Amino acid sequence: MDFLKKLQNVDRRIIYLLFVLALAIPLIRPIGIPLQISPATRAVYNIIESLDPATDVVLLSFEYAPGSGIDIHAIPVTVVEHLMKRGLRWVGVSFSPEGPLMMNMIIDDLESRGYKYGEDFVNLGYMAGEENAIRLFSLDTSVFTTDSRGNSVASLPIMQGISTVKDFAFVHGFTSSDLGIAGWLRQAVDPLGIDYAVGVVTVSVPSATPYYNSGQLKGLLGGLRGAAEYELLIETPGLGASMMDAQSMGHLLILGFILLGNLSYLFGKKK
Amino acid sequence: MKLVAGNIFGFWMFLVVAIFTLVLINYSKSGKINITLRKIAGLEAIEESIGRATEMGKPIHFSPGLGDIIGATAAETFAALEVLSYVTRMSAKYNAELVVTIRQPNVFPLAQESVKQQYMAAGKSDMFKEDTVRFLSNQQVAYTTGVVGFMHREKVAANIMAGLYMGEALLLAEAGAQIGAIQVAITASMTQLPFFVAACDYTIIGEELFAAGAYLSQDRIKLGGIAAQDYIKLAVMATAVAGALLMSSGSNFLNRLLVK
Amino acid sequence: MRKEVPLVITFVVAIIVMLSAITTGPIPGTSIAISDLFRQHISPWMTIVSAFAVGLASVNLLRVHTRAIARKRNDWIYSVILIVTLAIYAGFRTYVELNLSNATAAANYALIFNNILTPLSAAMWALLAFYVASASYRAFRARSAEATVLLISAIVVMLGAAPVGALIWSRFPDVQRWLLEVPNMTGQRGILIGAAIGGFVTSLRVLLGMERGHLGSAD
């Protein structure tokens, strides 16, 4: 009876310690568990594959901060990698204050590899006002007069021929909040009829799924798992893929604890 | 000036629904209809948790969520501020110390004014101190860290969270659970519901957040609004069923009407 | 007057914002469209008011913490750290914003961001994993029939989401997808529609001045 009681009330520090081990060991010694690719991930890949590098420019919208970055940052990294592989140009914008800095982490890497700022990509910076700002920018991209480096946006080669969000061939958001899902849908996607896909934190997948099924979202990448699937598709393993084993082990451990808690609870009740 | 295509039906529906709501609110106000709300256990628990805080001599923590008063999250924040009014009244009634932590700068002056006025109305102006309503940070993680630290340091007896929540929901709720506070979460943030349900004593979900103000104040105007809400929902349900039947029988009449 | 003026401003601005989203063309008798009115007048005001709110809130933060220092309250040293950090961050960021072409300053600011704020935030966020583990262990018990259904679906969704699930049973991802797309979506839509209607009625009350809780009214 005492033992059952103990099992029902395992000290949370023991749970935390086991959890650290379950996450750390696969990171150090990967197991290589195979991964299935979901249709929502493949949808994003297919759209980008269908674009024409000669004429098409893609808009990327960054709405997340470093905190949630651990779950989501791998998504823009791999999507940008795909764009660069295909020679597609992209414009980055942000409606959350930390977004431009997250974007710069990707841009720094691209510049060190020889890609040209202003020609291959640009970071327009942050605009305050959340949904209102999304609407203003969607109707008229010139609300950004200078980019995050102080250049005149009108003079940038990549921005030639772009005046509204409809001039982009495809829009992809990366968001840790509802702003990037419902906000974009309400202010730009539905009223203007643009093709929009989004990368979200894992916890937002259930709430974003209805929009994907209704066709309002053209694709959906969910957290590290979404990033890992995408990395497999473009055959460039990165941060997402390297974390998948740890995620699996973490899930198994939580399951183990749930089962343990329940078995001790059920047996305790019978006695 | 004309309506943009895609908004025509929506605009007229807005007018119809708004007028209908106002009519019901007026009926309720003048006593032509009486509205009784079903019992919501979580809301009843707020008073109990505040009473407990008084017995323990520990403070109550209230958070109006992470949403702003502009944009799509405004309604949730306003609903949370209504709950704050009630919590302040109860805190005055039981002489329990209340601390309100704020994430959105825009919400700060409203929360401060609301708490101050409620204390004044209850004749307990001295209960309002400069640090009763505290702005912590508009950075989500910094705000969360501030609240978690505060709850651990002050060992709050009750933790009431109303409004919009995001990834920090479980961090806040689990911190409260660790110190044994009575926790009431009132939110329409669907992604965070599972975490609140797991870690809080009472979780009030979805539209119940918007009904909370009416429930707690029993104000006839607000009750009228709740009744309107239910009728509108019935109409939406009927439309959904009619739409499904029409689509199944090959007619997309309703679909065309809705996107007009 | 103290209550009426804010209510009138609320009503007028709300109507402009709403109509700006759904109308085109000039307002009858004028040459200005509502969307331009919104873009040129309301939107900048929203930014300005928000900026003042940040100022007001920061003053509160400073007063609470300077008082803690002056009265040498418990852990007052953290208040000192907070104020110093706030000053450094605000000063540095302002300098970067005013000198956008100064690449070195921007790079040094990014250094603080990447090496202090990012790991601190990530560490705080990573705590979620531990909290999920302890909360699910404590709360996910098959106490009733409903709780058991919740428990089983949680297990299936977790196994479907992690790659290891497919190794255990290849259909786990399919079952997970079905759970997300059918029962979950149905429930989500129901709650979403209910909450949206609740939000609509609350907004209407705020717009028409029937909701005064936020203005400190007793009702």
- How confident is the model over B12-32, as pLDDT tens digits? 999 999 999 999 999 999 999
- My answer on whether B92 and B210 are in the same domain is yes
- pLDDT(C218) > 60: no
Pick among C54, C67, C143, C214 to test the B interface (most B CBs inside 10 A):
C214
**Tally of domains in chain B:** 2
**Closest alpha carbon within chain C to B177:** C135
Cα–Cα distance measured from residue C58 to residue B105, given in angstroms and rounded to the nearest whole number:
8
In a domain, residue B29? The reply is yes
Token code pair at residue C10? 């609320």
Mean pLDDT, chain B, as a whole number?
Answer: 92
Mean pLDDT, chain A, as a whole number?
Answer: 90
Q: Which helix (H) or strand (E) element contains residue B208? A: helix B208-217
- Band (pLDDT 50/70/90 cuts) for residue A90 is very high
- My answer on whether B48 and B167 are in the same domain is yes
Check: CB of residue A198 under 8 Å from CB of residue A181. yes
Cβ pair B170:C132 closer than 8 A? yes
Contact list in A for residue B4 (CB cut-off 8 A) is: 191
- Band (pLDDT 50/70/90 cuts) for residue C213 is low
What end-to-end distance do the CA atoms of chain A give, in Å? 8
Candidates C24, C128, C140; nearest CB to B2: C24
In a domain, residue B73? The reply is yes
- Band (pLDDT 50/70/90 cuts) for residue B91 is very high
Average pLDDT over residues A244-260: 88
In a domain, residue A127? The reply is yes
Check: CB of residue B69 under 8 Å from CB of residue B164. no
- My answer on whether B64 and B154 are in the same domain is yes
Please tell me the predicted confidence (pLDDT) of residue C217. Answer: 58
Between the alpha carbon of residue C112 and those of residues A93, A125, C107, C109, the distances in Å are 22, 18, 9, 5
- Which tens digit of pLDDT belongs to each residue from B199-224? 899 999 888 999 998 899 888 988 99
The subunits that touch chain C, with at least 3 C-beta pairs less than 8 Å apart, are A, B
Most confident among B50-54, C14-18, C139-143, C204-208 (mean pLDDT): B50-54
Candidates B134, B221, B228; nearest CB to C64: B134
Q: Judge whether C195 is closer than 8 Å to chain B, CB to CB.
A: yes
Check: CB of residue B98 under 8 Å from CB of residue B59. yes
Please tell me the predicted confidence (pLDDT) of residue C175. Answer: 93
- My answer on whether B161 and B244 are in the same domain is no
Contact list in B for residue C199 (CB cut-off 8 A) is: 75-76, 188, 210
Candidates B71, B140, B166; nearest CB to A130: B71
Cα–Cα distance measured from residue C127 to residue B122, given in angstroms and rounded to the nearest whole number:
41
Write phi, then psi, for B143 (nearest 5 degrees): -60, -50
Candidates B79, B199, B219; nearest CB to C139: B199
Please tell me the predicted confidence (pLDDT) of residue B185. Answer: 96
Average pLDDT over residues C179-186: 87
- In 3D space, the residue among B67, C51, B80 whose CA is nearest the CA of residue A177 turns out to be B67
- pLDDT(C219) > 50: no
Average pLDDT over residues A86-111: 94
Neighbouring CB atoms inside 10 A of A236's CB total 14
DSSP class of residue C7 equals H
Average pLDDT over residues B148-164: 95
| ipTM confidence | 0.85
- pLDDT(B93) > 50: yes
- In 3D space, the residue among B191, B73, B228, C14 whose CA is nearest the CA of residue A205 turns out to be B191
Cα–Cα distance measured from residue B131 to residue B109, given in angstroms and rounded to the nearest whole number:
13
Q: How many angstroms separate the CA of residue C141 from the nearest CA in chain A?
A: 5
- pLDDT(C48) > 50: yes
- In 3D space, the residue among C126, C3, B244, B95 whose CA is nearest the CA of residue A71 turns out to be C126
Q: Judge whether C148 is closer than 8 Å to chain A, CB to CB.
A: no
Please tell me the predicted confidence (pLDDT) of residue C216. Answer: 59
Average pLDDT over residues A72-87: 96
Please tell me the predicted confidence (pLDDT) of residue C215. Answer: 65
Secondary structure of residue A76 in the 3-state scheme: helix
Sign of CA dihedral A78, A83, A89, A90: negative
| Lookup result for tokens 């200005």 | C32
Provide the residue range defining the domain that includes B22. Answer: 8-34+220-258
- pLDDT(A1) > 60: no
Secondary structure of residue A94 in the 3-state scheme: strand
Average pLDDT over residues A91-96: 94
Structural Rg of chain A based on CA atoms: 22
Which residue would you say has higher pLDDT here, C113 or B41?
A: B41
Check: CB of residue B65 under 8 Å from CB of residue B71. no
Question: With a CB-CB cutoff of 8 Å, which residues 89-118 of chain C face chain B?
Answer: none
Q: Which helix (H) or strand (E) element contains residue B54? A: helix B41-56
Provide the residue range defining the domain that includes A137. Answer: 39-247
DSSP class of residue A58 equals E
pTM over 0.90? The answer is no
In a domain, residue B1? The reply is no
Average pLDDT over residues B145-161: 94
- Band (pLDDT 50/70/90 cuts) for residue A43 is very high
Cβ pair A210:C132 closer than 8 A? no
A213: domain CATH number is 3.40.50
- Percentage of residues of chain A with pLDDT beyond 90: 56
In a domain, residue B250? The reply is yes
Q: Identify residue A25 by its one-letter amino acid code.
A: I
Please tell me the predicted confidence (pLDDT) of residue A271. Answer: 63
In a domain, residue A214? The reply is yes
In a domain, residue A25? The reply is no
Sign of CA dihedral A127, A129, A133, A136: negative
Q: Judge whether A177 is closer than 8 Å to chain C, CB to CB.
A: no
Question: With a CB-CB cutoff of 8 Å, which residues 40-79 of chain A face chain C?
Answer: 65-71
Cα–Cα distance measured from residue A146 to residue A168, given in angstroms and rounded to the nearest whole number:
19
Contact list in A for residue B178 (CB cut-off 8 A) is: 12
Please tell me the predicted confidence (pLDDT) of residue B207. Answer: 85
Contact list in B for residue A190 (CB cut-off 8 A) is: 6
Please tell me the predicted confidence (pLDDT) of residue A61. Answer: 97
**Tally of domains in chain A:** 1
Q: Which helix (H) or strand (E) element contains residue B227? A: helix B220-248
Which residue would you say has higher pLDDT here, B38 or C44?
A: B38
**Closest alpha carbon within chain B to A67:** B141
- Which tens digit of pLDDT belongs to each residue from C82-94? 999 999 988 998 9
In a domain, residue A225? The reply is yes
Token code pair at residue C134? 């302890």
Token code pair at residue B230? 């239910």
Please tell me the predicted confidence (pLDDT) of residue C214. Answer: 63
DSSP class of residue A152 equals B
Please tell me the predicted confidence (pLDDT) of residue A50. Answer: 97
Cα–Cα distance measured from residue B100 to residue B114, given in angstroms and rounded to the nearest whole number:
11
Cβ pair B71:A206 closer than 8 A? no
Pick among A187, A203, A204 to test the B interface (most B CBs inside 10 A):
A203
B120: domain CATH number is 3.40.50
- My answer on whether B151 and B171 are in the same domain is yes
Secondary structure of residue B162 in the 3-state scheme: strand
